[in-house]
Structure 1
Amino acid sequence: MFYTYIIFSKSKNRYYTGYTSSTPQDRLNRHNNGMTPSTKSGIPWELVFFKSFDSKSDAIKFENFIKRQKSQIFIKKLIASNKNEFPE
């Protein structure tokens, strides 16, 4: 299983989009432990969206699609429309 995820930093008012083969929560923990140089300054990050895929290529394609939008409005709409991705 592969995931495309979006995390949010309140201190930076910034979204970060990525993909992972681990769980989104594990990946979030790595971001918040400073293991990713590009997100170190935004700690703490909050997981706000994820979507699962069967293939790595599909997860990367969706990540790139989100990044090409270059829009916080698009990301906010995506997050709002997919709250059901999170387990209860």
Structure 2
Amino acid sequence: MFVYILYSEKRSKYYVGQTANIEERLRRHNLGIVPSTKNGSPWKLVLQIEVLSRSEAMILEKKIKKRGAKRYIDNQFGV
């Protein structure tokens, strides 16, 4: 399982999600299949974190969303 952060330059927005297949999920986001991201294409993958289970992915996704994706990235990588 992966927790991932996408960025849309078009909307200047981040999106946080989880999936078992990053490539397929990114493809679906960029095709406009995912309602919450259909207006932001193209989305770029800016971070992916592999975790051991779906429950761990859900916990990390919630943590990132609560903090904010940009702040999470900045805190993790000292930007």
> Scaled by the length of structure 2, what TM-score is found?
0.88
The CA deviation at 1:25 is 2.1
Q: Which runs of 5+ in 2 are unaligned?
A: none
Given that 2:16 and 2:69 are in contact with CA atoms closer than 8 Å, whether structure 1 keeps it comes out as no
Gaps of 5+ in 1: 82-88
**Number of aligned residue pairs:** 78
Alignment partners' CA distance in 2, 1:21 and 1:42? 22
CA displacement, residues 27-79 of structure 1 (integer Å, 9 cap, x when unaligned): 1111001110000000000000000011000011000000011363333343x
Once residues 26 and 77 of structure 1 are traced to their aligned partners in structure 2, the CA distance between those partners, rounded to angstroms, is: 28
CA RMSD of aligned residues (A): 1.6
What is the percent sequence identity of the aligned residues?
A: 37
